[in-house]
Each structure stands twice: as structure tokens, then as C-alpha cells.
Amino acid sequence: MMTPKTIQTLRKLMEYEAARTEPPKSFPVLPDIPAGRYVDARFFELEKAHIWRKSWLLAAHIDEIPEPGCFMRWENAGQPVVIVHAESGEVNAFYNTCSHRGAPVVTKQQGRARRLTCRYHGWTYDHEGELKGIRDPEDFRGLDMSCRGLKTVRCERYGNLIFVNFDAEAPTLLEWLGPIADEWEEFQFGKCRLASRDIFDLNCNWKIAMEANTEVYHVRTIHANTVSPVLDDRRNVNTLYANGHGRMIAPNRKGKSNLGAVDISLDIAQTDTVGEIARTCTQSYGIFPNWVSPLNQFLIPPLLFWPNGINKCRLETWTMAPPWEEGKKPDLWTKNDGKELCDVLIEDMEFGEKIQQSMESYGFDGVPLSYQEARIYHWNQAADRMIGIDKIPEELRVQQVIGDEWIYPNDPRIAELD
């Protein structure tokens, strides 16, 4: 929970941001982000080998596999994965790859079974991934069944959310989230239900789509009639966290609710523990690498961005909420029950394809970012560190100019307040 002192500091920072006439004194000049990061196959491969392989990725909600024995396939990160709610109550993830000849062990998108049985030759695994039975075992000489289980994918929960990680060496999910795990307590992730989850294909690099949701600089132009009347963008306060995560908090304009920009009824359940800031501001987190989400007393609605080639991506829209009444299922991001994006997201995505074309053209070299867009630069710095700066061709790197003095809990603006 935010302490009264934290709230007071945030309020002061909002006024500081509204009053300043230039970036804070110690904020660095941001060198251009090379356009190649959005169009160059080398960078795309580096992202695959490092970012998608080593980050914690939101894969599922417990409501999708509510009972022991329930399983679901998950392939959004390009790897074949099956997530299983085990008899033990734990949630496990495995490569959906039979250790015999590689057929998928699970072919249905979702289901429930006491054992997972490969349909090719009938090898059978339990919920812990152990190989329990094979046909005609006498015809395999020296096959040690105990070493032929399904290969494990790291899987950890934050409340009802299920994350996976393909890196055995990665920190735990809680270490990865750092202070954000505590800041999120007021939103009660252990109580939120999954109301909707949809996916949309977009014709641009995944970062172009994500970055449209990582700054408020675009609000007054792109969202002139939707978000702008509600959100006071000049009072936005960005916070940068370790591991590339970020947060924005922008107060609502007087008398406006933080659902004011979208077409959703206020007559829905609320999470009582949500504090003053999240009730009166647009508070939104960027969790590295691909999660952007506002959170408030009504909803936890993450947007996730997944690459689908260099110049294509998929936008996944989730709405989570406290339990709702029959017939009042909240869905923040879509119209027509998941068939179309809502107006605000259509606005956000309007230029994606054209920006991709620009970045692929001879006429575009790099992206100059303002102080308001600092979270995008911070993300890129963290991405390069995760990849390993030396592995990145020089012309595709970003310079590491935002120093630790800007990483939470450090904040040079606080010294400038009084």
C-alpha cells in the first residue's frame, strides 16, 4: 500500500512536472534510438535469443485451468508450451514436445485429463511431466523412463497470474518484479478473475505497438476526444524501475473517473483495498518486456505485445476484475465481444503500419525521444543489457545514458521539490 508520505510526494511531483519549463536538471540528453531495432533481422534474432528467452512472460490466468488436471497450450512466445494444473495444486509448465519423436503431447487448446497422452505412439505423462507408460517397452533396449519426462519450463504465479520463463538461470518472478510486487498488493491479484482475453494481428514491429502505450506525449493529439479530456498529461509522473520496468501516474482531470475514456459501466465491483492514487489517477505499469497495464479499483487490464515476425505482431488484450454480477462481465479493450478493438486502442494503433513502412524506408534513421518518453528509452537500455551490449552491432545499440540515480527508489526530482 502507498503510505501517506508516498502519496504526498507523488502529488508534489505532479505539480513539479506541470510547472517545469525544461527536463529535470540531471536528466540526460537521450540519443536517437536506431531505426534498425525495428526492422533489422539481426536485432530481431537477438531479442528472440535473449529477451524472449530470459524474461518472465505472462502466459495464463488460473481461471483458464481452474481444477487439478486442467491443461492449456500456450504458444504466444513461439515455443510450444503446455501449462498444467497438477494434482498437487501447483501449476507446472512443460515444452509440449513428446520425448519420443517430438509430437505434441497435447493437441487440444484446453482440456482436462488425469494423464497427458501423446497421440502418436501413446506415451503417457503425469502432471509433473514424468513419463509413466510407453507401449511395447520390451522393444526399447535400456530406455530409462526416469530421464524421458517432459522438459520443464519455469513457471511461477503472482496471485492468479501464471508466468513462464525459458531460462533456468533467471531470477524468481518476485525478484524480477522487485518493488512492484509490493506496490501491486493493493490490487489483489489473488482475487481478480479473468473476464476476457482476445488477440489481434497488427502489421508492425511489436515494439512500435507497445511504445504507443508507453508514453502520454501522444494523448493530446491521437486521443484528443477520448483520453485527453480525462487525463492530465502535463502532470504525469514517470518512475523507472530495475529490470526495465516503468510506471506512469497521471491525475484525472477534475471530476473525471479513471474509466471516463472508455465505454464501460461504473456499476461494477471494486477492489476495496485500492488506494487514493489508483482511484483518482491513471496509474499504469510497463513490465519488461511486453506488458502494459493500467490498474485501478475496477480493473486490471493488461495489454501484451508478441512478435510475429519482424514487421508483424499480435496484441493481446486482457480484462481482469473482481467477481462480477451475471450479465455484467467487464471488457475494457474490445467491442462486439472480442471481435474489434475499442476506440482508444484503434487510436493507439492507427499509425503502426505506416510507422513500420517509414522505418523500413531509406528516409528514417532513428527516433529522438523526449523526457516525457523516458520509459521507452529506459526499456531499450534494459533490453541491451539483457542481450549483452557486446553482442549487439554498434549501429543497433542504444547508449546507456540513464544512470542508476534515476532508478527507483532513487529520484533526482525529489531533491528539486523544495
Q: Which residues bind ligand FES (CB under 6 A)?
A: 98, 100-101, 103, 118, 120-123
> Residue 140 binds which entry of Fe ion, ligand FES, none, with Cβ cut-offs from 5 to 8 Å by kind?
none
Instruction: Find out whether the peptide bond into 289 is cis, omega within 30 degrees of 0.
Output: yes
Q: How far is the CB of 348 from Fe ion (least distance, A)?
A: 4
> Residue 348 binds which entry of ligand FES, Fe ion, none, with Cβ cut-offs from 5 to 8 Å by kind?
Fe ion
> Residue 123 binds which entry of Fe ion, ligand FES, none, with Cβ cut-offs from 5 to 8 Å by kind?
ligand FES
Cβ-based nearer residue to Fe ion, 83 or 227: 227
User: Taking the CB of residue 292, how many other CB atoms lie within 10 A of it?
Assistant: 22
Torsion angle defined by CA atoms of residues 73, 74, 78 and 81, in that order, rounded to the nearest 10 degrees: -60
Closest CA to 258 of 300, 297, 220: 297
Contact present, 355 and 204 (Cβ < 8 Å): yes
Q: How far is the CB of 217 from Fe ion (least distance, A)?
A: 10
Cβ-based nearer residue to Fe ion, 233 or 348: 348
Cβ-based nearer residue to Fe ion, 97 or 258: 258
> Residue 121 binds which entry of ligand FES, Fe ion, none, with Cβ cut-offs from 5 to 8 Å by kind?
ligand FES
How far apart are alpha carbons 346 and 343 in whole angstroms? 5
Closest CA to 84 of 117, 112, 119, 103: 112
Q: What's the grid cell of residue 104? A: 505434441
DSSP letter for each residue of 221-251: HHTTTTTTTTB-GGG-EEEE-GGG-EEEEEE
Q: How far is the CB of 209 from Fe ion (least distance, A)?
A: 11
Contact present, 277 and 251 (Cβ < 8 Å): no
Q: What's the grid cell of residue 415? A: 531533491
Angle at 288 between CA 243 and CA 75, to 5 degrees: 135
Query: In this structure, is the dihedral angle defined by the CA atoms of residues 21, 22, 24 and 25, taken in order, positive or negative?
Result: negative
> Residue 98 binds which entry of ligand FES, Fe ion, none, with Cβ cut-offs from 5 to 8 Å by kind?
ligand FES
> Residue 207 binds which entry of Fe ion, ligand FES, none, with Cβ cut-offs from 5 to 8 Å by kind?
none
Residue nearest to Fe ion (CB): 348
Cβ-based nearer residue to ligand FES, 122 or 190: 122
How far apart are alpha carbons 62 and 157 in whole angstroms? 9
Q: How far is the CB of 136 from ligand FES (least distance, A)?
A: 11
Tell me the helix, strand and coil percentages in the chain, rounded to 5.
30, 25, 45
Cβ-based nearer residue to Fe ion, 331 or 348: 348
How far apart are alpha carbons 274 and 297 in whole angstroms? 5
Q: How far is the CB of 155 from ligand FES (least distance, A)?
A: 22
> Residue 120 binds which entry of Fe ion, ligand FES, none, with Cβ cut-offs from 5 to 8 Å by kind?
ligand FES
Cβ-based nearer residue to ligand FES, 79 or 280: 79
Cβ-based nearer residue to ligand FES, 56 or 94: 94
How far apart are alpha carbons 210 and 71 in whole angstroms? 29
Cβ-based nearer residue to ligand FES, 120 or 324: 120
Q: What's the grid cell of residue 97? A: 514436445
Give the three-class secondary structure for 410.
coil
Q: How far is the CB of 101 from ligand FES (least distance, A)?
A: 4
Q: How far is the CB of 105 from ligand FES (least distance, A)?
A: 7
> Residue 50 binds which entry of Fe ion, ligand FES, none, with Cβ cut-offs from 5 to 8 Å by kind?
none
Q: How far is the CB of 197 from Fe ion (least distance, A)?
A: 20
Applying CB under 5 A, which residues contact Fe ion? 348
Cβ-based nearer residue to ligand FES, 125 or 241: 125
Q: How far is the CB of 204 from Fe ion (least distance, A)?
A: 15
